[in-house]
Amino acid sequence: MPTTTTLAASAKPRGPALEWALLVLLATCWGASYTFIKIGVATLPPVTLIAARTLVAGLLLLAVLRLRGLRLPRDAASWRRFALQAGLNSVLPFTLIAWAERSVDAGLATILNSTSPIFIFLLSLGLTGAERPTLRRLFGVAAGLAGICLIVGVEALGGLGRSLWAQLALVAAAVCYGCAAMFGRVFKGLDPMLPAAGSLVSGAALLLPASLLIDRPWTLAPSAASLAAVLALAVVSTALAFTIYFRLIRTLGPMSTSAQAYLRVPIGVAIGVLFLGERLAPTAWAGLACIMAGVIAMTLPARGAIPLPFLRR
């Protein structure tokens, strides 16, 4: 039976192509979450929506862990780390985003919340032993932001300045994600599903009492669409996404993993084109090129640097 604290052999990275594919999948899971949240908050209050999201996702991962023969750590130190990670990566940012999307469009929420790489870049400047900034990564940050602006367009930013507190909440959520990515490296010795499950269970334990006190969920009448959105958020955008996220924190590192923030926008646009009949502006194609250039610049290891774990043999 596998141990509870060591990485299962099957979870070891096999090559850079796999990590890149997982980065795209993570961006897709989280890129879709803004639409799910927008549908969910139509008939569900933000705290209850996020409490349900974390609870369902946490229970799902616990079931998967049981099937895999893994158990969560039982020591107090591990659960303190899980609780802190929950606050930074789910409780605070999820709730802030859900509250903000009551008055802000999903597209604007995406662009404001995609600034987490900037905060990771700034945080890394003052941390000993963290990934050091390079000119190429600085270019990646700038190219990614430029690409997002080209895709969303000036028209989409017309609401910037209105709903100021909601917009500031989205930026605050991005700061939380940046802190969570840096702190998430403390779990590098664990199977990625363990911190994912532990943090979600901790988050649910914090959010459920708040939901009961604030929203009295037994008095609510959510629509079928909102309930379906919660399920999609829990399974796709939380349980699956968190498992991928903690793996990439270990293999790519916080800064490179944050590059998925730039992929959320073009993926969201592609979903709109394929399923909603939306049309891309000419500038969107240039934006896609900028974003991909930014992702490559932020993800590829610098020449002469210590190889990433998935490049070691």
pLDDT of residue 270 exceeding 90, the answer is no
Query: What does the block give as tokens for 236?
Result: 């796709």
What per-residue confidence (pLDDT) applies to 96?
Answer: 95
- Greatest pairwise CA separation for the chain in angstroms: 61
Average pLDDT, the chain: 79
pLDDT category at 189 given cuts 50, 70, 90 is: confident
Q: CA 308 to CA 103: how far, in whole Å?
A: 42
What per-residue confidence (pLDDT) applies to 4?
Answer: 43
Return the CA Rg of the chain.
19
Q: Is 278 helix (H, G, I), strand (E, B) or coil?
A: coil
Is residue 203 within 8 Å of 86, Cβ to Cβ?
yes
Quote the distance between the C-alpha of residue 161 and its chain's center: 25
H or E stretch covering 67: helix 46-68
What per-residue confidence (pLDDT) applies to 183?
Answer: 87
pTM, 2 dp: 0.76
What per-residue confidence (pLDDT) applies to 5?
Answer: 43
pLDDT category at 8 given cuts 50, 70, 90 is: very low
Positive/negative CA dihedral, 23, 28, 32, 34: positive
User: 60-69, 239-248, 278-287: which has the minimum mean pLDDT?
Assistant: 278-287
What per-residue confidence (pLDDT) applies to 161?
Answer: 55
pLDDT of residue 290 exceeding 60, the answer is yes
